[in-house]
Amino acid sequence: MNAAELHRLARHVRTIALRATENTGPDRVNAGELSVLEDVARNPGATVSGITRRTGLARSLVSRISRAMADAGAISITADASDRRKVRVDLTPRTRAMILDRANKPILKAIAASTPKLSPDHQLALERHLSEAERLLRLGAES
């Protein structure tokens, strides 16, 4: 596999993930918003600088996304108790429940929708390979 093939694979896997989580259509969460939501889900009470560092997004974009999501009621922004210049970002309980619900959806239907030319056996094999790739990548990244 070369870098171009890896990028193509990443696009296909992202499409499957978006279908599986039903993050499609006009109200879909864009990539930047999704990065912020995923980071805050993994790091409750995150600071804007922490989100910026972990996601690689520009600080101004993280701030803008955070304010818009707070205005929409998806996240809460509170002043840091130890440093009033900082704010802490967290998911609202409703958003956390929605993300967990979407995150736990099985992916086989999304694989089938994304790969209509594959047989059901090949679609199952693809699901197994994706699961194994995720496991190996997670193990390789753990410290």
pLDDT in tens, 68-106: 999 999 999 999 888 888 999 999 999 988 888 888 899
- Cα Rg for the chain, rounded, in angstroms? 18
Q: CA geometry: angle at 44 spanning 105 and 65, to 5°?
A: 80
Q: Where in the chain is the domain with CATH 1.10.10.10?
A: 28-104
Using CB atoms within 10 A of its CB, is residue 101 exposed (0-12), middle (13-18) or buried (19+)? exposed
Torsion of CA 112, 130, 43, 18, to 10 degrees: -20
Average per-residue pLDDT for the chain: 92
Per-residue model confidence as pLDDT tens digits over 56-69: 999 999 999 999 99
The CATH class of 28-104 is mainly alpha
